[in-house]
Amino acid sequence: MPELPEVETTARLLRGPLLGRQICGLDVQWPRSLGGQEEAWVREQVSGARITGVTRRAKLVVIELARRGRSVGILAVHLR
């Protein structure tokens, strides 16, 4: 499992290439993480959003999302 320095490095490396990009779609690789309805809802919320920030919180990479200039939430990614 990655430790804090690896998570910080990953967030810093992703920040430049991701800022301002639009998310076209979402593929959930770990089926136990979401059920059918929840996965469809998350896919709908995330698709089309722009990435406005990439930070780290504890051992999570936090990706901030916005649509039409308004925040629509975050993706919290654990590197497992």
Answering whether pTM is above 0.75, one says yes
More confident call, 68 vs 80: 68
User: Which residues touch 73 (CB under 8 Å, ≥6 apart)?
Assistant: 45, 65
Tens of pLDDT, residue by residue over 13-66, are: 999 999 999 999 887 777 666 667 777 888 888 999 999 999 999 999 999 999
Q: What pLDDT, on a 0 to 100 scale, did the predictor assign at position 39?
A: 78
Q: What pLDDT, on a 0 to 100 scale, did the predictor assign at position 11?
A: 98
Q: What pLDDT, on a 0 to 100 scale, did the predictor assign at position 2?
A: 85
Q: What pLDDT, on a 0 to 100 scale, did the predictor assign at position 35?
A: 67
Strand locations in the chain, DSSP E?
50-57, 60-67, 70-78
> In the structure encoding, which two tokens stand for residue 34, read together?
């979401």
